[in-house]
Structure 1
């Protein structure tokens, strides 16, 4: 009778290690995490409230910004409460189903955020290259349709991940050297052949974030072409100024996203805590920074914030 060298089973729970090698400093590390999370909550809720209350801001650019703020809020809230429970109370256990759910939300929401950035780039392209047709092209029904399409794309393409991982055999360990559950961390724990699943994951990543990024670059190439055809320098600077905040948030989102993607798949000699810090920056920093960038660089939002904070001076 043949016996297997390993037992094939599904763990009922997984153990999150947090940041390996820095366990003694978890309490101190949690301080910036809490501050970043609080600022993300405050900033994104403020954006949603201001845009909701001000009818003059019910334009495609700000509606897409609302969708982005909503995705940012859910994404960071998916990660931070469990992370703080781990850091403060040493609550390392997470059920298998909760782990898969967390992984799905993290990856699907990241895909949605990428889609909203592309929609915002399309809005800037139409506003600059076809200004007279902007209101006719990006009607409220079109904006809602784009938002729904982005939501469905992120949901449907990433829904396969938890189902595929759910039926894999885990015969190694149930310890995840990370602060949260994500696709590559779980793949490393299985003893089955996963090349097809990883190929599917890479394909989805390219068809979503990768393709979005290429289309954003192409849209800005067309925008720059149109801008430098303008007759005066002042007109060129003013037009480019309308894109400044969008370019900043794109860089804030895609830079840690690509770093996290590359370090997980190709950075085998990079220290584990570097992997984890980059992955957490990718989840936490953009939701905090996006409202700040739009609040500082977008005049209409800045004016509404000042009016809300100092009503007697308005």
Structure 2
């Protein structure tokens, strides 16, 4: 009898164990999340960490639907959809966010950050927290988290670029960004805006001598086939941020808001971890193996770039933004550097 009882319990447990997944409750909230990168990219992996955490921690109260590879439109398109409430969360980068809230252009200033850690501390500062609040109040878009996907670096076909003097005479492709134009021009180069889709052929045919992008992009798009020299000067932070509809966020109960915020931080940490490894190890090694001459400037050489660029960039920013705000941003980063130096002295 005992054997039969355990057999019955086992069969019953198996039945309910198999049946349970088909018995689901509809979520109280649906969060549609869009990004522009390919499925299984570091960014996409971050979004799926977000999905897994939010759905699990909310006990199924929030359903997350991830749409990769610009399925719902370009980065600009989907941010407009977030503003309109059609979707709830989307990717932004340092090249697009300022078109929705102009003060965010400060994040794309060349040589603003010396490394990822400075950027992380700035994004956690009271100054940036207030900037984010102002953006949410004015536009209905809130940055939940952000991650560096690598700093932009120079490549070219003419010669190694070790100091700003080496930029003389180089036709450098730049995106259609005023700060990128000012940056290259102030170094003595010839900035040349060329559409992204024409860049490879422009490098191949010599329309331009060089371009600038993060290591991952240089690798992913095979620029090593048409470029010889790479300078790891880290002149501009590449920043992917998760932007949520403020209206949707505030519609959630407080405990679910915290779950969404935590999930977003996990997503950014996931992307950053993989991108950082690519940018500093695998990506650099791949480019060397493909024949690129990779140069790491010394701090003194980097200073020649920064010193050439800082004044004209700040002049531009002071015309576009409140000069007091620009001064406060540079001052905050100076304070971060001073605090970091104090830790090792």
Would the TM-score normalized by the shorter structure come out above 0.5? no
Q: Tell me the TM-score normalised to structure 1 length.
A: 0.26
Relative to its length, the structure with more strand (as a share) is: 2
Relative to its length, the structure with more helix (as a share) is: 1
Structure of higher CA gyration radius: 2
Greater relative CO, 1 or 2 (CA 8 Å, sep 6+): 1
